[in-house]
Amino acid sequence: MFLIKKIFLFFKRELNLFYNNIADLFSNILFFFLSIFIFVFALGAEEQLLRSIGLGIIWSLLLLSSTLSLRKFYEDDFNNGVIKIIHMSGISYELFVFLKILSHFFFVQIPFLISIPIACIFFNLPINEVYNLMITFIIGSLILSCLGSISASMNLLNKTNFSIGSIIVLLFSIPVIIFSVGINNSEDSFRSLINLLIGITLIFLGVSPWSSAAFIKLALRNK
């Protein structure tokens, strides 16, 4: 019973921080739109060309812009010791990581959903591709949150070079891109590809709390 109350409090605090850091979210969305504009200007206004490559561009830019905010995933809580206080109140590191992944999914990735239909207008994508994109993004962004948690916890003690963290995210997100862009090219295998994506999500949801918690423990020991 107390645990549920603590989890509720954790999300209340995350919501409070989300309100205070809303400028970060807007700057990420702005980065996403500006890079789409740059692609459109660079490729020229050929409708057929844009329509054929639009989906891939939107997915890769979503990936890049979601790696932008990864640095802040654990850093603030780690540096000011909130992780220790939460741990001392009876929440294990694994549960903390799991809650943090969920809160990153709800407060960073889900707001991006609003920007996806607007981005699809620029590429003149057909409506069923937009639906597919939304569904795959909801599943894929949870994978990205898990990957972000792993890379951010690995880089807790690394103050100078964060690009190594983005490399891990980009490397492991290749299957996500393959399956989620593949959904549109093969109509009849929609079900199986969605199942594959959900399977990858479940694997990462299982693996990332343990690995991130191990990295956090390691970082606390060597601080």
Partner 1 sequence: MLLINNLSFSRNDNIIFQNLNLSLSDRSITQIRGKNGSGKTTLLQVILNFLECKTGEIFWEGKNIKKNIFSFYNQTTFIMDHNTCTRKMTILDNINFWSGLSSSKLTKNEILLLLETFNIQKYQNTKTMYLSAGEIKKLELLRLVLEQKKLWILDEPYNHLDDLSIQILNQTFIDHINKDGIVLFTSHLNPSISNLEVVEL
89 part of the interface to partner 1, by CB under 8 A:
yes
Dihedral angle at the C-alpha atoms of 148, 149, 154, 157, nearest 10 degrees? 100
Residue among 76 and 134 whose Cβ is closer to partner 1 = 76
Residue 21 in contact with partner 1, rule: CB under 8 A: yes
Q: Residue 69 or residue 132: which is nearer to partner 1 going by CB?
A: 69
SS (H, E, C) 111-126: CHHHHHHHHHHHHCCC
Residue 113 binding partner 1, by CB under 8 A: no
Which region, left, alpha or beta, applies to residue 125 given φ > 0 means left and ψ of -120 to 50 means alpha? beta
Q: For residue 137, report the phi and psi dihedrals to the nearest 5 degrees.
A: -70, -40
Task: Output the six-digit token pair for 188.
Answer: 């009849």
20 binding partner 1? (CB under 8 A) = yes
Nearer to partner 1, 8 or 210 (CB): 8
Residues numbered 59 to 88 that lie near partner 1 (CB under 8 A) are 76, 80-82, 84-88
We find the least distance from the C-beta atom of residue 90 to partner 1, in angstroms, to be 5
* Pick from 162, 164, 196: nearest CA to 177: 196
* Cα atoms found within 13 Å of the Cα of residue 176, Cβ hemisphere only: 29
Task: Compare residues 82 and 205 and give the one whose CB is closer to partner 1.
Answer: 82
CB closer to partner 1, 18 vs 122: 18
Residues at the contact surface with partner 1, assessed by CB under 8 A: 2, 5-6, 9, 12-13, 16-17, 20-21, 76, 80-82, 84-90, 220-221
